[in-house]
Amino acid sequence: MITAIYPGTYDPVTNGHVEVISRAARIFDRVVVGVVGSPQHKSPMFSVEERVFLLKDALEGTAENVEIDIFRELVVEFARRWEATVIVKGLRVLSDFEWEFQMNQLNRHLAPEIETVYVMASPQVSFVSSSGVKEIASFGGNVEGLVPKAVAARLKEKFPKGRGGAPLSDQE
């Protein structure tokens, strides 16, 4: 049985993420979507619990061989914990490759037994990024078609029209 992990912040999950997960689920026996619990390089808009909830909603009915887990360790340690031999990474644009190439080399140094497999985004979602979606939503733009319905609804709650970039706190 080949287990693959697909690590990310999923802040928020996009239709591009869902596409990569669906495609990976057709290739590998088990896919574990790893949600970074405490990202080092950015501050998530959504709590880890909400990111997991939105992912579960987005993946409902997608594939029975997909699981979701939170991790707070190195990606290769997360892979080892799940006895995964593959790390799946989605690529949208050339700049994604540059970053992922560096990460691949570091991961190979730490865990040469784990391979990284890249899944190219389809043209329909190759321009979609979580940061782009948040930017559009922050100005009241329509993100339907870019993200799962529950994510679009949650972003509408966080960014009512006319807020100009400032999300409402959950207490407002």
| Residue 43 annotated as catalytic | no
Given this model, what pLDDT does residue 53 score? 97
Given this model, what pLDDT does residue 11 score? 95
Which tokens is 25 given?
Answer: 């689920």
Question: What residues have CB less than 8 Å from 140, skipping those under 6 apart?
Answer: 159, 160, 161, 162, 163
Most confident stretch, 23-27, 38-42, 61-65, 140-144:
23-27
| Residue 108 annotated as catalytic | no
pTM, entire model: 0.89
Matching CATH number, 3-123, of 3.40.640.10, 1.25.40.340, 3.40.50.620, 3.90.1150.10: 3.40.50.620
Q: Is the pLDDT of residue 160 over 90?
A: no
Res. 163 pLDDT band, cuts 50 70 90: low
Quote the CA–CA distance of 100 and 22 in Å, as a whole number. 20
| Residue 92 annotated as catalytic | yes
Contact present, 159 and 140 (Cβ < 8 Å): yes
